[in-house]
Amino acid sequence: MRVKVLSVLLILFFVTAVFAQSPTLSLVFAFPCNTSTFVCPDGYFPEELIEGSDGNFYGAAAGGGLGKNAQGTVFKITPSGEISVIYSFAENPDGSLPNGSAPGSLVEGTDGFLYGITSENGANGFGTLCKLSKTGTVQVLHNFCGTESCSDGANPGFLMQAIDGNFYGGTGPTDYPTSVLFRMTRSGTYTVLRTFDSKTQPDGTGIYGMVQAADGNLYGTTVAGAQFTPYNSLFRFNLVNGQYTILHGFNTPNFNLPGVATSAPVLTASGQLFGLQAFGDMYEMSLTGNYRKIGNLSREGFFDGNILQGSDGNLWGDFLGGDCSGEGIAFSASTTGTLLQSVTFDCNTIGEEPAAMIQAADGKFYGVTLGFGGVSTNPVLDGTIWSLDGGLLPPSPGITAFRPASGKVGWRVIVQGSHLVGATAVTVNGVNAAFQVLSVNYISLTVPSGATTGPIAITNAGGTTASAKPFTVQ
């Protein structure tokens, strides 16, 4: 399990808050393990959950599976809770794990394949980047280097796909020079874009996550260093010229007042970035780096967390928590920083240490817990998949960008956005277009006959959204 717990955060912080009626947490699936024989056929320590283009969920568990000494699974689970293992990272007869182990950070590519990382093993022992069909055929695209001082990094932890079709991610959190920002093509060509150095304040030691904004740039947060380098940053990376810019440093000049970032940023419909900081604080930042801290969201939210914007316009998220005295929480808050709702996880039913929270096409939130849950109370095993019903409507589509910006009738256009699963119609300036949902973040359309220059619009159960910029029909 790759939990980026900050070593400097050693105490709990309590605030008093008046909560609205809490959302309803439900158990979708508990990973069954035999604690005496250590057999966990579906996996354990689930770390990732995504919504697939087919309406099912896909995820990765860092341990367990089928086969000799299996060390992780990629699985599919239906909204009703029926699970099937797509692939188990099991040993070969000689004891090797050439495809890696401890999978995570799963992405559905625009080509229909699943792409992800393994943080350990592989040909050199330091993790892999893999391509996986939904029927279970795996291909290793990159093996990380054989020693921790290699220039391409070690132990990958994050992966995403940008609108240029390439994948971007990070290794770590480890110290210089094994923590990097990288790019990988779909064919596996690998390039290091930035090497992080925790000794260079406020760089950091890895990447929590990144988002791509309408300006085409990537925005992300780094992971804080160890006790003597307790700071990190929010950065911008320009895909065109390769420029890396630190927009804001989260410094910790005093160990008693830590302010480091503890989540990946979320890009809201307003174009602002929001994220979490130590002790449950939240911040807002513009794409130019104008920062302000807003609100406090947790009585004990001092571990890493996740944050997203719900279909009600508010911010929703969770904090990892820890042990059964601090199981973790899910929350909602206004974009001005007011805590609206909070619900605490129960170790013995829903599980502890929630992570990988998403809002699906049905309006509910789904996520995983790393341990405990409805089958076992052994803290080393199991984990769950859960849902949270906050009474929200299905989310409407978001449109970030499209490529190309112009084209002729019959041309294929890739649209980048959010909540694209379940799309029922796509138009170009009001004319219906043939389309295919590629993933939760991408749709392809064919420029229809009769279309004229105007916005691209996408419709799903949550409503219709039109692009801010027009598509030019040539």
> How many separate helices (H) and strands (E) can be counted in the chain?
0, 37
Residue 21: is its pLDDT beyond 90? no
Q: How confident is the model at residue 231 (pLDDT cuts 50, 70, 90)?
A: confident
Q: Which has the higher per-residue pLDDT, 473 or 328?
A: 473
Cis amide linkage into residue 177, ω under 30° from 0: yes
Q: Find the CATH number of the domain harbouring 48.
A: 2.130.10.10
CA 282 to chain centre: 18
Number of structural domains found in the chain: 2
Q: Is residue 4 in a domain?
A: no
Q: How confident is the model at residue 252 (pLDDT cuts 50, 70, 90)?
A: low
Whether 87 and 223 share a structural domain: yes
Whether 241 and 197 share a structural domain: yes
Question: What ranges make up the beta strands (E) of 217-376?
Answer: 218-222, 232-237, 244-250, 266-267, 273-277, 281-285, 291-296, 305-309, 315-319, 329-333, 339-344, 352-359, 365-371
**pLDDT on residue 13:** 31
Q: How confident is the model at residue 19 (pLDDT cuts 50, 70, 90)?
A: very low
Domain final residue pick, 389, 419, 451: 389
**pLDDT on residue 227:** 72
C-beta separation of 171 from 179 below 8 A: yes
Residue 336: is its pLDDT beyond 90? yes
Whether 132 and 261 share a structural domain: yes
What percentage of residues in the chain have a pLDDT greater than 90? 72
CA 153 to chain centre: 20
Q: Is residue 229 in a domain?
A: yes
Q: Find the CATH number of the domain harbouring 469.
A: 2.60.40.10
Provide the domain limits for residue 441: 398-473
Please give, one letter per residue, the 3-state secondary structure of 359-387.
Answer: ECCCCCEEEEEEEECCCCCCCCCECEEEE
Whether 436 and 384 share a structural domain: no
Q: Is residue 35 in a domain?
A: yes
* CA 41 – CA 375 distance, rounded (Å): 14
Stated pTM of the model? 0.92
Q: Is residue 13 in a domain?
A: no
Whether 181 and 280 share a structural domain: yes
C-beta separation of 73 from 94 below 8 A: no
C-beta separation of 209 from 220 below 8 A: yes
Q: How confident is the model at residue 316 (pLDDT cuts 50, 70, 90)?
A: very high
Q: Is residue 444 in a domain?
A: yes
Nearest residue to 245 (alpha-carbon basis) of 282, 279, 275, 285: 285
**pLDDT on residue 378:** 53
Q: Is residue 2 in a domain?
A: no
Whether 125 and 153 share a structural domain: yes
Whether 71 and 168 share a structural domain: yes
**pLDDT on residue 294:** 92
CA 226 to chain centre: 23
Q: How confident is the model at residue 189 (pLDDT cuts 50, 70, 90)?
A: very high
Whether 109 and 140 share a structural domain: yes
Q: How confident is the model at residue 372 (pLDDT cuts 50, 70, 90)?
A: confident
Whether 340 and 199 share a structural domain: yes
What percentage of residues in the chain have a pLDDT greater than 70? 89
Residue given tokens 């279909």 in the structure block = 311
